A and B are shown apart, each in its own frame.
Chain A
Amino acid sequence: MKKIALSVLMTALLAACASTPAPVTDPNANQTTGNTSNTGSEITTVDATGTTGVKLDPRLSDPSNILSQRRVYFDYDSFTVKSEYDAMVQAHAKFLVERRDYKIILQGNTDNRGTAEYNLALGQKRADAVAKLLLALGVNENQIEAVSFGEERPLENGDTDEAWERNRRADIVYNGEQTK
């Protein structure tokens, strides 16, 4: 096993020396290329770290109100909303029926086992499961968007059963809210 630092391999003294007959010239040298081609030129950075904030109904953030609860946890390999979340889901449905001007994004999440892209599709099934319940309770389709974050937004890092459990969930996010 050898470890190679990329910084510098070797330094050396250079002695003066007579030049020799020119070898073959690279036919591609000095070619000019357009902006979008693969020349490895400078890259322009796009900054998408800005934040926006919207004032929402205070009930949504009042810790004593059930509407402040936003998480549905799922069993391993399961996409069924357990009955312990009935009251919470019903409360959000009631709120959304009352406030047709409010919209939510349901964000499905998974643990980190398996490929990130397949997990994104698995998380979608969890978000879809919560969406179906809300639709059945009278929420309009245009108030709900079910999406997935897959394994990209864990509540807990690590490869323990406990961490995995915490990460298998769907989050209810009201439009205009900032998540972590």
Chain B
Amino acid sequence: MKMLKQFLRGLVAATLLAAGAAHADMTIEVVGVGSQQYPIAIVPFKNEIGLAQAITPVVGTDLGNSGLFKVIPAGDVAPQPFSSSEINFPALQAKGAQTALVGQVIPDGNQVTVRFWLVDLATKQELIAFEKRGNASQTRRLAHQIADMIYAKLTGKTGAFASRIAYVLKTPGRYQLQVADSDGYGAQTVLASRKPIMSPRWSPDGGKLAYVSFEKEKPIVYVHELATGKRIEAANFKGSNSSPAWSPDGKKLAVVLSKDLGSQIYVINADGSNPRRITQSGEINTEPSFLADGRSIVFTSDRGGSPQIYRQSIEGGEAVRMTNSGAYNASAKVSPDGRSMTYVTRSNGYRVAIMDLASRQSMVLTDTNADDSPSFAPNSQMILYETDVGRRGTLAIVSADGRIKQRLKAQGGEVRQPAWGPMLR
């Protein structure tokens, strides 16, 4: 507890010092942490202050936000260690740390080399000794990748810091489809419109977004290449075109079309060709999401009289009802590892739930009232979703076990319809 107070005091001081420095487009507020936290001392890297973005503050924030680490700033240890051989073990252990991150930055024109070590303070064993090279203007990315390596080494699970999210930012009279780093930094606008935008979905390679835009006074599904801004109307049939979902190989999309009355799910090629109807019954079939094998989808249907989630092969055949409790279950997304699905269930309010696909055991993860659009992180361990705080759309993250909760607070406007993208390469 004392450690936390010191840490927070340090934060306040640092924040004051940093006034006027680049700000985040969104800030993460941690509202729930893991039952067990790894105490890690982070020593600022040699030469990192000269970088476009210093490495260790980003690593520290990533690990701290995950709820699984207690980050102990160790910039005050004298002399400062910049490699594993320079560590003063008792000094760092006295701060309550079990491991320490030390390192150095070697600038090289527009490139930069980062050498770093993660050391177990009790055994003096080097858990990580690594050298990463990258573009000097993208040191934030390097930092996220370093955080992922530390996360993986200490928790035994894959990290997801070096990934991006997409979401729709709504300000009066303006909608922007934006992409930002998973920590809310570096937001860039993909599409700006006066009309609503919804349902962004990342292609499996992370290079494209499929989404629905109303810029032509009706919902049309677009596929948009992020680097070039080149986009196509992947589905613009008479009526509504909505709710795109990528197949795991990125070659096909499931979309919802109303051209044959009601809302039915079709599979089309990613270039919009060869539409093939998948669902046959019910007036509403929507919110498709592919299973990991690419041969089946889960989706929401009203065929049983209330919105429920079903699973069906894209080659046809019987739809199997997946949700059996509650009068409203919708917006299912299958996890990247294929083991579970997250969805919205009405249980007092509309809340994010998770179901293990093998056992069909389910659990409600949130206690908010207007949750929507849950999507898994690439490591399948966190779920990003839209929620309402003070009647304003905002983004939140919950761990798959429901313990760790974060809120992403935007500077202004409503933030809705999030989608967590794949890992950056």
> Which residues of A are at the interface with B, using a C-beta cutoff of 8 A?
1-15, 17, 19-20, 22-26, 28-31, 33, 35-49, 51, 105, 107, 112-118, 120-122, 124-125, 128, 145-150, 152-153, 157-159, 173, 179
At the interface with chain A, which of B28-36, B90-98, B153-161, B354-362? B28-36
The minimal Cβ–Cβ distance linking B390 to chain A, given in whole angstroms, is 11
B289 to A: closest C-beta gap in Å: 11
A–B Cβ pairs within 8 angstroms, 28 of them: A4-B30, A8-B17, A9-B71, A9-B73, A10-B10, A10-B60, A12-B44, A12-B80, A14-B44, A14-B48, A17-B86, A30-B134, A31-B425, A35-B228, A38-B164, A39-B425, A40-B164, A114-B328, A115-B373, A116-B198, A117-B198, A117-B199, A120-B243, A121-B284, A124-B262, A124-B263, A125-B262, A125-B284
Q: A38–B44 contact, CB under 8 A?
A: no
| Interface residue range, chain B | 35 or more
B225 x A36 contact (CB < 8 A): yes
Q: Are A147 and B8 in contact (CB under 8 A)?
A: no
Find the A residue at minimum CB distance from B103. Answer: A23
Q: Pick out which of these stretches binds chain A: B181-189, B290-298, B314-322, B396-404.
A: B181-189
Q: Say whether B104 faces chain A, with CB atoms less than 8 Å apart.
A: yes
Does A11 contact B17, Cβ atoms closer than 8 Å? yes
Q: Which of B48, B213, B227, B422 has the most CB of A within 10 A?
A: B227
Are B28 and A121 within 8 A (Cβ)? no
Report the separation of the CA atoms of residues A178 and B338 in the bound assembly, to the nearest whole angstrom.
Answer: 44
Q: Which residue of A lies closest to B343 (CB)?
A: A115
A2-B4, A17-B104, A23-B117 known; A43-B227 Cβ under 8 A: yes
* A40 and B190 contact, CB distance less than 8 A: no
CB within 8 Å for A2 and B224 given contacts A29-B133, A40-B141: no
In the bound complex, what is the Cα–Cα distance between A150 and B48 (angstroms)? 49
Contact B240 A6 (CB under 8 A): no
Residues of chain A contacted by B258 (CB below 8 angstroms): 121, 124, 128, 146-148
Given contacts A4-B65, A121-B263, 17 further A-B contacts (CB under 8 A): A8-B15, A11-B18, A12-B75, A14-B47, A23-B117, A25-B133, A36-B205, A36-B207, A36-B226, A39-B424, A46-B231, A114-B307, A114-B344, A116-B198, A149-B196, A152-B198, A158-B391
Q: Is B336 an interface residue (CB 8 A)?
A: no
> Contact check: which of A28, A31, A41, A149 meets B214 at CB < 8 Å?
A149
Interface string of B279-314 (1 = CB under 8 A from A): 000011111000000000000100000010000000
CB closest residue in chain A, given B307: A118
Query: Is B283's CB under 8 angstroms from A149's CB?
Result: no
Q: Mark B331-354, 1 if CB is under 8 A from A, else 0.
A: 100000000000010100010000
**B227 touching A44 by the CB < 8 A rule?**
yes
Tell me whether B410 is interfacial, beta carbon within 8 Å: no
**Interface presence of B57 (CB below 8 A):** yes
| Nearest neighbor of B227 in chain A, beta-carbon distance | A35
List, in ascending order, chain B residues with CB within 8 A of A28's CB. 425
Least Cβ–Cβ distance between B194 and chain A, in angstroms: 5
Shortest distance from the beta carbon of B93 to any chain A beta carbon, whole Å? 20
B1-59 at interface with A (beta carbon < 8 Å): 4, 8, 10-11, 14-15, 17-18, 21-24, 27-31, 44, 46-49, 54, 56-57
Q: Are B17 and A6 in contact (CB under 8 A)?
A: no
Chain B residue at minimum C-beta to C-beta distance from A3: B29
Within 8 A of A (CB), among B209-227: 213-215, 217-219, 224-227
